[in-house]
């Protein structure tokens, strides 16, 4: 029977690590074909793969290309193959990895076999070199990986080339990093501010993709240690008791946008906070979406609502919403691990099926 079965097909470009394929269901079988490898056969590369839910999560049957005849040789993996996922209401983390060393001048971290790709979002804990030095200012902040130097080193989106940040060495106790497997459960979400450029309009850089769009209604919560408190939604000096909101006027990149706040006379922003301030419980500077389907979004002339929101450049399956709204972006589908899709930039075709009868 197949009356209620669900089918999906498509393509993705491998990132060399874990590839998440979002679907409106969790499949029970997945078939993969490496379009790049078939066009240019290369020894040891995986050409195709298959997974069935009865095998177990992370398993896969796959075929690799031989060195001489370019024949396909069957193989089996029980780890980093293919598995399904369903993102829940809370952040889910990958494997905790020891930070061996870090360079403050470049925000570069040495982590053995980190497995991260550009665009991944990670979070650190610890990062103390001593009780008074190191980079604990980064702990607990979602940070985008902006450069992968090699298999053991990567750079994150934060300015650590400042006097209150010092390099790490010798695998400091408690210094770990974890990947956020599904960092955009709600969008636009709340973003941590990495820098602010003041002026007649204000440019904001966030530590990870913020998913803001032009017309987004936003508000700020910035502790005084970080500066630019004039942006804070409360207190509103013009209308006491009323929040102070702004609008996104342009989007420069996934982590940088411009809003209509005039900050020419505002306090300068600084991310050069001290280790002592962090240990005392200093909160992070935040920017967030506000508004609802009645008041959010600018400009808006009435009529039909805006189309379904886009999260991290991917359209969601949610209904239409005004820009100021939060979107529930919990999602599901299947993932392809590095045992199968081990070579980045290769194009893969897939077919995924959810069978209505599964033995």
Tens digit of each residue's pLDDT (9 = 90 or more) over 27-43 = 999 999 999 999 988 88
> Mean pLDDT over residues 50-59, rounded?
93
pLDDT at 327 over 90: no
Picking from 29, 32, 9, 86, the residue whose alpha carbon sits closest to that of residue 358 is 29
Least confident of 142-151, 196-205, 210-219, 253-262: 210-219
Q: Using DSSP, state whether 22 is helix, strand or coil.
A: strand
Say how far apart CA 178 and CA 164 lie, in whole Å: 24
Q: Please state, as a whole number, how many other Cβ atoms lie within 10 Å of the Cβ of residue 273.
A: 19
**Per-state percent for the chain, helix, strand, coil, to nearest 5:** 5, 35, 55
User: Of the spans 28-32, 66-70, 311-315, which averages the highest pLDDT?
Assistant: 28-32
Report the greatest alpha carbon distance in the chain. Answer: 77
| Burial class (CB within 10 angstroms; exposed 0-12, middle 13-18, buried 19+) of 5 | middle
Higher pLDDT, 68 or 203: 203
pLDDT at 308 over 70: no
Contacts of residue 271, Cβ cutoff 8 Å, sequence gap at least 6: 137, 158, 159, 162, 194, 195, 226
Contacts of residue 224, Cβ cutoff 8 Å, sequence gap at least 6: none
Say how far apart CA 34 and CA 241 lie, in whole Å: 59
Predicted local confidence at residue 117, as pLDDT:
86
Picking from 211, 199, 292, the residue whose alpha carbon sits closest to that of residue 256 is 211
Query: For 162-174, how does the pLDDT look when each residue is reduced to its tens digit (9 = 90+)?
Result: 999 999 999 999 9
Picking from 257, 247, 338, the residue whose alpha carbon sits closest to that of residue 300 is 247
* CB-CB contact of 289 with 279 (8 Å): no
Higher pLDDT, 195 or 70: 195
Say how far apart CA 71 and CA 344 lie, in whole Å: 22
Contacts of residue 244, Cβ cutoff 8 Å, sequence gap at least 6: 219, 231, 232, 233, 234, 236, 238
Q: Is the dihedral of CA 74, 76, 80, 86 positive or negative?
A: positive
Q: What percent of the chain has pLDDT over 90?
A: 60
User: CB-side exposure of 226: number of CA atoms within 13 Å?
Assistant: 22
Place of tokens 């980045």: 344
User: Of the spans 57-71, 237-251, 255-269, which averages the highest pLDDT?
Assistant: 255-269
Say how far apart CA 180 and CA 96 lie, in whole Å: 11
Query: For 334-346, how does the pLDDT look when each residue is reduced to its tens digit (9 = 90+)?
Result: 999 889 998 989 9
Picking from 98, 80, 150, 148, the residue whose alpha carbon sits closest to that of residue 120 is 148
* CB-CB contact of 337 with 181 (8 Å): no
Picking from 340, 334, 330, 350, the residue whose alpha carbon sits closest to that of residue 53 is 334
Predicted local confidence at residue 294, as pLDDT:
44
Least confident of 225-234, 239-248, 273-282: 239-248
Q: How does residue 69 score in pLDDT terms, banded at 50, 70 and 90?
A: confident
Cα-trace Rg, the chain: 23
């Amino acid at each position: 029977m197949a009356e209620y079965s669900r089918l999906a097909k498509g393509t993705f470009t491998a990132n060399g690590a874990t590839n998440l394929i979002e679907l409106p269901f969790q499949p029970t079988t997945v078939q993969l074909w490496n379009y790049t490898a078939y066009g240019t056969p290369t020894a040891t590369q995986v050409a195709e793969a298959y997974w069935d839910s009865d095998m177990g999560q992370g398993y896969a049957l796959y075929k690799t290309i031989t060195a001489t005849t370019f024949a396909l040789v069957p193989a089996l993996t029980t780890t980093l193959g293919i598995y399904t996922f369903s993102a829940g209401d809370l952040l889910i983390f990958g494997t905790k990895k020891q930070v061996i060393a870090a360079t403050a001048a470049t925000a570069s971290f040495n982590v053995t076999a980190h497995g991260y790709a550009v665009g991944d979002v990670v979070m650190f804990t610890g990062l103390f070199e001593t009780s008074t030095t190191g980079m604990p200012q980064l702990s607990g902040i979602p940070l985008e990986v902006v450069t992968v130097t090699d298999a053991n080193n990567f750079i994150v989106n934060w300015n650590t080339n400042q006097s209150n940040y010092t390099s790490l060495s010798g695998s400091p106790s408690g210094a770990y990093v974890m990947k956020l497997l599904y960092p955009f459960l709600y969008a636009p979400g709340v973003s941590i501010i990495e820098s602010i450029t003041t002026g007649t309009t204000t440019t904001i850089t966030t530590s990870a993709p913020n998913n803001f769009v032009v017309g987004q209604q936003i508000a700020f919560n910035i502790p005084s240690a970080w500066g630019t408190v004039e942006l804070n939604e409360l207190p509103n000096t013009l209308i006491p008791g009323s929040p102070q909101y702004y609008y996104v006027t342009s989007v420069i990149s996934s982590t940088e946008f411009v809003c209509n706040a005039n900050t020419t006379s505002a306090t300068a922003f600084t991310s050069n906070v001290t280790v002592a301030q962090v240990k005392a419980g200093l909160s992070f500077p935040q920017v967030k979406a506000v508004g609802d389907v009645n008041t959010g979004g600018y400009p808006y002339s009435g009529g039909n609502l805006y189309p379904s929101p886009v999260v991290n450049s991917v359209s969601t399956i949610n209904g239409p919403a005004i820009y100021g709204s939060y979107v529930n972006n919990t999602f599901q589908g299947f993932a392809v691990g590095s045992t199968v899709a081990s070579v980045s930039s290769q194009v893969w075709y897939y077919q995924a099926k959810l069978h209505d009868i599964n033995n």
